[in-house]
């Protein structure tokens, strides 16, 4: 079974904490450290440099592995990951920007070393095309392909990345990120998200479909800017984040980024959890029933909560629901 992915930025992929991909990335990091000398190491201890190199290698190799298990309309559309080569795309401290958190010098140096070892194929980006794209080749591709699609435990999403606040410029309609203001409510939500994600990371979520069936899944355009960066299926994308899209944390706050949220409803019935079949329960009019319940109003189970009693009510006409 394969996943269906397009070229996402390499740091958007989940990070494994153990397993063959993790161990292989560490071995490549060791080879890199033994055969290169980076000017970026000035003022940095050997142990810190080693930790940073290993972390970047793990992220790049795991991203390449995820993208390699991909299905696209053409071969040229899949298997790629995006890695920015411009220093301005990186940041060294956590902030509200969506830049890559990490070392620009180390990342580019590792990419160039992998290219020199014939382990990467490159499509250079420019100011018009955006980030450069890479996919596995040579011995690296052969090794990752030989693994097949396997479940791996992944690193937890950083606490400061679990809640995102966005807003829109009223003139340009462009979306931008708003700094998150901490408080008791936010800390409680962060605690809840960490608990939920800790549970999700312990389990394997997959689809009981063949590769031929998966090829029939067509990724459609998504009008919701919150989902526009990723509408593909990545079986390692099991953790969720909460996104407030109206500039404040007292309005909205939907959960996003679980891969099962991006598949058609008729596909969700094929979801497996640790190899076990699942069912989806749809509670008709759930939001309306919650509103009635909050006012202490009891409703029959078969009551149509959208019927306000008008003579021309037509349950089969969806326009009446609004």
Tokens of 2: 């394969």
Domain co-membership, 120 together with 207: no
Q: Domain count of the chain?
A: 3
1 located within any domain: no
- Same structural domain for residues 175 and 263? yes
Q: Categorize the per-residue pLDDT at 140 as very low, low, confident or very high, splitting at 50, 70 and 90.
A: very high
pLDDT for the residue numbered 304 = 81
pLDDT for 228 equals 41
Token pair belonging to 186? 């936010």
Query: Do residues 76 and 113 both lie within one domain?
Result: yes
Residue 287 lies in a domain: yes
Last residue of a domain, one of 99, 121, 147: 147
Write the DSSP assignment of 71-118 as a string of letters: --SSGGGSS-EEE--SGGGEESS--SS-SEES-HHHHHHHHHHHHHTT
- Tell me if 208 is assigned to some domain: yes
Q: Could you report the per-residue pLDDT of 17-34, keeping only the tens digit for each?
A: 999 999 999 999 999 999
Which has the higher per-residue pLDDT, 162 or 319?
A: 162
User: Whole-model pTM?
Assistant: 0.76
Confidence band, pLDDT 50/70/90 cuts, at residue 221: very low
Q: What pLDDT does 74 receive?
A: 52
- Shared domain check, 182 and 303: no
- The reply to whether 13 and 141 lie within a common domain is yes
Indicate if 63 and 102 belong to the same structural domain.
yes
Statement to judge: residues 137 and 165 lie in one domain:
no
% the chain with pLDDT above 70: 83
CB crowding 296-313: b at 16 or more within 10 Å, else e: eeeeeeeeebeeeeeeee
16 part of a folded domain: yes
Per-residue pLDDT of 91-130, as tens digits, reads: 988 876 789 999 999 999 999 999 999 999 999 876 555 6
Query: What does pLDDT average to over the chain?
Result: 85
Q: What is the span of the domain harbouring residue 294?
A: 283-322
Say yes or no: 231 and 305 in one domain.
no
Residue-wise pLDDT for 255-288, tens only, equals 999 988 878 888 888 999 999 999 887 777 888 8
- In the listed set 120, 147, 174, which residue is the last one of a domain according to the structure? 147
Of the listed ranges 61-65, 140-144, 213-217, the one predicted with least confidence:
213-217
Same domain, 53 and 85: yes
Does residue 135 sit within a domain? yes
CA–CA distance, 31 with 23 (Å, rounded to integer): 13
Query: Above 50 in pLDDT, residue 218?
Result: no
**In sequence order, which ranges of the chain are alpha helices (DSSP H)?**
20-35, 46-68, 104-116, 138-147, 184-201, 211-215, 265-268, 286-294
pLDDT band at residue 75 using 50, 70 and 90 as cut-offs: low
Pair 247, 289 in one domain:
no
Strands 254-256 and 241-244: antiparallel
| 154 within domain boundaries | no
Domain boundary among 147, 171, 197: 147
| Residue range 53-77: mean pLDDT, rounded | 81
In a domain, 142, yes or no: yes
Same domain, 115 and 168: no
Asked if residue 221 belongs to a domain, the reply is yes
Q: Are residues 175 and 251 in the same domain?
A: yes
Mean pLDDT lowest among 1-10, 83-92, 193-202: 1-10
**231: pLDDT strictly greater than 50:** no
């Amino acid at each position: 079974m394969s996943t269906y992915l397009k070229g996402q930025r390499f740091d958007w992929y989940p990070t494994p904490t153990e397993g063959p991909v993790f161990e292989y990335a560490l071995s490549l990091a060791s080879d890199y450290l033994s055969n290169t000398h980076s000017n970026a190491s000035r003022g940095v201890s050997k142990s810190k440099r080693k930790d940073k190199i290993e972390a970047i290698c793990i992220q790049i190799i795991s991203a390449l592995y995820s993208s390699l298990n991909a299905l696209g309309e053409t071969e040229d559309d899949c298997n790629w990951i995006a890695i920015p080569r411009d220093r301005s795309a990186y940041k060294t401290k956590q902030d509200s920007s969506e830049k890559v958190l990490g070392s620009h010098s180390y990342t580019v140096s590792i990419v160039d070393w992998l290219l020199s070892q014939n382990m990467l194929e490159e499509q250079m980006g420019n100011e018009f095309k955006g980030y450069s794209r890479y996919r596995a080749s040579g011995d690296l591709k052969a090794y990752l392909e030989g693994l097949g699609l396997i479940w791996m435990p992944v690193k937890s999403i950083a606490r400061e990345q679990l809640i995102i606040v966005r807003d829109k410029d009223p003139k340009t309609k462009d979306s931008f990120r708003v700094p998150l203001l901490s408080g008791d409510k936010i800390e409680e939500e962060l605690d809840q998200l960490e608990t939920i994600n800790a549970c999700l990371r312990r389990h394997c979520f997959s689809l009981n479909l063949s590769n031929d069936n998966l090829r029939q899944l067509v990724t459609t355009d998504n009008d919701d800017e919150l989902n526009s960066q990723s509408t593909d299926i990545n079986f390692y994308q099991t953790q969720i984040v909460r996104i407030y899209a109206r500039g404040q944390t007292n309005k909205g706050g939907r959960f996003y980024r679980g891969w099962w949220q991006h598949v058609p409803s008729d596909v969700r019935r094929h979801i497996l959890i640790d190899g076990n079949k699942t069912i989806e329960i749809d509670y008709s009019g759930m939001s309306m029933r919650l509103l009635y319940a909050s006012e202490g109003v009891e409703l029959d189970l078969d009551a149509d909560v959208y019927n306000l009693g008008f003579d021309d009510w037509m349950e089969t006409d969806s326009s009446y629901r609004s």
